[in-house]
Amino acid sequence: MPQYLIKRIGQAVFTLFCVLTFAFVLGRATGKPAGLLLPDSATPAEVDALNGALGFNEPLHVQYLTFLANVLRGDFGTSYRQRESALALIAERLPATFELAFWSFLLGLLLAVLAATAIQLTGSRTLRSLFIWGGSLRHSVPDFFFALLAGLLFSVALGMLPSLGRTSPASLVLPVLTIATGQFVLYVRLIDSALSDQAGQDYVRTAFSKGQSRARVLFSHMLPNSVLPVLTMAGLNLGSLLGGTVVVEAVFAWPGLGQVLTEAVSQRDFPIVQAGLLVVALIFVTVNLAVDLIAAKIDPRVSLA
């Protein structure tokens, strides 16, 4: 187990190194930032001077090594525009993103588990079609459009919920609803097929042969055993939600990672982009490791080696 962890952490470090390199290379490929940072009236000499001050006139390999050395010290540089530590600017956005990601993920998964268990308990094909059809319909509407409609209905027409910003718990409702309902059908399909898979297993027949009721067989045997196939997919989804949801954050003016990253990219604010990408990659790697550890915890046949 400790050996396994060391191996996984080693892999994670390598992944993060690759992400940093990509961030660096792709960033430099877009050119030097000073032209965008200075007003149009700036002279070429001024632009060149600023580029030089930011270190862009050094040879590329020197820039790269300086960058890596700084990152190792935890220094991602200062935002070109906001004159604050890039890492601090990213960290500031994390609570909002985590809050949105966590609740959206939880609600989507919960709704899907409820729907899938209802399908199994009733054995109704109509119910299955209804959930999958309805979920697919919602999924096929782009999130930004659904978000606008939801905002129109609940904020503008009914005045029940705030449509912008992160000011109160009620602010969460519309963004969470948008993401959760969009992901619902993915989970329903996944859980339903996992459950149907389990339903045909011999051990389920054994459970019935003991005189166990349908509901208990579902909840104590089939559902726990369906977690494994669902877990991987759910982990990937959670990872990408935690990395920030650009569209939904933009529509609802949610002050999350997605928002700050897109702004930074368009402004060529490299320190923020680099810090942001590293944090997102770190989240992904952590969630994946957690998924594997949980899978090993659930399935006694899996040995971590």
Partner 1 sequence: MSTTYTGPLLSVQDLTIEVRGDDGPVRLVDGVTFDVHQDEVFALVGESGSGKSLTVLAIMDLLPPGVRIASGRILFRGRDLAQLPEAEMRRLRGKDLAMVFQDPMSALNPLQRVGRQLAEAVKLHASGLNRKQTADKVHSLLAAVGVPDPQGRAASYPHQWSGGMRQRAMIAMAMAHDPGLLIADEPTTALDVTVQAQVMDVLAEARRRAGSAMILITHDLGLVAEAADRVAVMYSGRVVETAGVHQLFSSPAHPYTAGLLASVLGEGTAGERAFAIPGSPPAAAERPAGCAFQPRCHLGSGRDKCTAARPLLTLLPTPPSSAEGAAQPQGMAHPDGAAHPGGRAAACHFAGESTLQLLKGQPV
Residues that bind partner 1 (CB under 8 A): 200-203, 205-213, 220-221, 224-225, 298-301
Distance between CA atoms of residues 244 and 261, nearest Å: 9
Tell me whether residue 84 or residue 299 sits nearer to partner 1 (CB atom).
299
Cα separation, 270 vs 256, in Å, equals 18
Rank residues 169 and 300 by Cβ distance to partner 1 and give the closer one: 300
Cα(293)–Cα(276) distance, integer angstroms: 26
Q: Is 180 or 195 the residue whose CB approaches partner 1 more closely?
A: 195
What is the rounded CA–CA span in Å between residue 300 and residue 18?
Answer: 34
Q: Are 180 and 111 in contact (CB under 8 A)?
A: yes
Are the beta carbons of 178 and 163 closer than 8 angstroms? no
Angle (deg, nearest 10), helices 86-122 and 223-242: 150
- Give me the least distance between CB of 218 and partner 1, in Å please: 13
Q: What is the DSSP letter of 78?
A: B
Q: How far is the CB of 300 from partner 1 (least distance, A)?
A: 4
For partner 1, the closer of residues 30 and 206 by Cβ is: 206
Give the residue from 138, 103, 97 showing the smallest Cα distance to 279: 97
CB of 214 to partner 1, least distance (A): 8
For residue 221, the minimal CB distance to partner 1 (Å) is: 6
The 10 Å CB-count burial string (b at 16+, else e) for 8-46 is beeebeeebeebbeebbeebeeeebbbeebeeeeeeeee
Q: Which is nearer to partner 1, 40 or 202 (CB)?
A: 202
Closest approach, Cβ 191 to partner 1, in A, equals 16
Closer CB to partner 1, residue 217 or residue 278?
217
- Smallest distance from partner 1 to CB 286, Å: 25
